[in-house]
Structure 1
Amino acid sequence: MQFKPKSLILGMALALSSSALYAAVSAEEAAKLGDSLTPMGGEVAGNIAGTIPAWTGGLSTSDDRYVNPYANEKPLFTITADNMAQYQANLTPGQQALMQKYPDTYKINVYPTHRSASIPDSVIASTKENALNATLTSDGNGISNLNEGVAFPIPANGLEAIWNHMTRFRGGALERTFVQVPVQANGSFTPVKINEKMSWPTYLNGKNSDQDNILFYFVQQVQAPARLTGNVLLVHETVNQITQPRQAWTYNAGQRRVRRAPQIAYDAPGTATDGQRTTDNLDMFNG
């Protein structure tokens, strides 16, 4: 009998476990999507307590617009500094600290839970294709065979769950204008108004092979205060950042210069945040 070296046996075991870790689900598992699981992989059923209802398909549109069916809804109850002990198990340490520091003004209105999300049929179909074919590559830093929609609707590990967050359907393209307020320890602050646009390659005209590794395009422009107005950040977010790192550029309105921005990653300070948020905190998980 011939024995193989322990290191070789261990290497083979790791290779087998890695291939299983990054494998797509079976057709039997994928068949749960749209049955016991929602098309995006959530549980159709509600919770035992009845506070979370079953998913029944979500909201439908009227003339391509969503009508708010909850416009007249009232809070079930309100959490304040006076009754926060009753709900302490459901409050974060930060929420509790805010109630203690601002007992007269900070409160949380709690409304009924609704599962209103709905997804276009084309995205439902491509998400099921992802379940059958998408796999992690480059030690989990990329995806192969990715279509539009959630990459891993039936995730097998934490890496796939994080990729689900980054690949979730957001309408193909979106725009938002918001104000962020970095507050100093002494209470002083300057509101910063920002406009952001995102688009996925499949929703742009003239898609070509150069976009095969692009997850989305992102542009951010500061609109206030005056000292920051006109500063722009442009990002080409890649699917596999090992083979092609994130591509980013900044435009400084005061200097009228465009520069490559490889530092727009990881724990680099976010735009106009006074160092209170890092780049990878944007959208809860970024990069």
Structure 2
Amino acid sequence: MGRPPTTVLLPTTTWTTACQEVADQLGPDDELLVVCDDESDRVADRDGLPAGVEVVVAGVPDGCSGKANAIDVGMERARHDRIVWTDDDFHHPDDWLATLNADYETHGPVSEVPFFVGQDPLSILLEPGYAFGGTFSVWAGDVIWGGAVIFERSDLDVDAFRKELRQTISDDGLLGEYIDVTTLRRARRVEMGGSVRETLERHVRFMKLVRYHDPPAAVVNIVLLLVLTAFSIRFPLGTGAVLTAMHGAIYLAFGQRRWTALLAYPSVLAMVPLMAYAYARRTFVWGGRRYRWHSKFDVEIVD
């Protein structure tokens, strides 16, 4: 017996390599909805789309992020009950969609994890911190990553979810409040940054996501980071050795062999001022729009 047909939602404004990779994996009854913002986006008038692929124009967001708006419209247009969310900024191997579907049959809703790879001096410095907070902690806590998650409509209250989605920033942060997933120890490399400014904007968004979707975790993170920083300053050699060994083990556990694990100690020292900066900032830029995130369901698009 074959698997159920699947709808893949991929928000993007351009036809990227990832779009083609996912399109090549579609079964005869699957569909890929490439969701863009506006008719002026380059992907909107692309000719010669592969079979099973449709471009959906979501329109300008109002009171939510562009990503949340795209996912909401995609959920409305999806023909199938089984749904996959993904992003356009990482490699999707040939068996990616088939493997996710097989994982669902075994575990129910599942998510993969990102491994963020720096593209500028600041993001390279922060790689070890993101390996811990954005990869290891996401896996250990069964947290959803919107870049690779599969579920079915029956796994959540779709109407209630979509109503709240249209009022917030984080699509996967909100989804995690509606369904429980098994997060797999399978990492996808995601390039981050490109400039120091881009890295700072991403960091602000990540910090605010935790603040609004999991306030207790935000408090725990602050306390632990302050304690760890104090130890790092008081006992630099011992703490540096432990941090380097721990992050090296995390890298290897997720199949990553990168020299940046050696930056674990300075990465930790950089996190306190960066966390203070993130909480002090009133706005951040994501996908070309500037947002002011007043509270979880109070989002202002500044420009």
Asked if these proteins are the same fold (TM beyond 0.5), I'd say no
TM-score range, shorter chain: under 0.3
Q: TM-score, structure 1 length as denominator?
A: 0.25
**Rg larger in 1 or in 2?**
1
The structure, 1 or 2, with the larger RCO (C-alpha pairs under 8 Å, 6+ apart) is 2
* Structure ranking higher in helix proportion: 2
Q: TM-score, structure 2 length as denominator?
A: 0.24
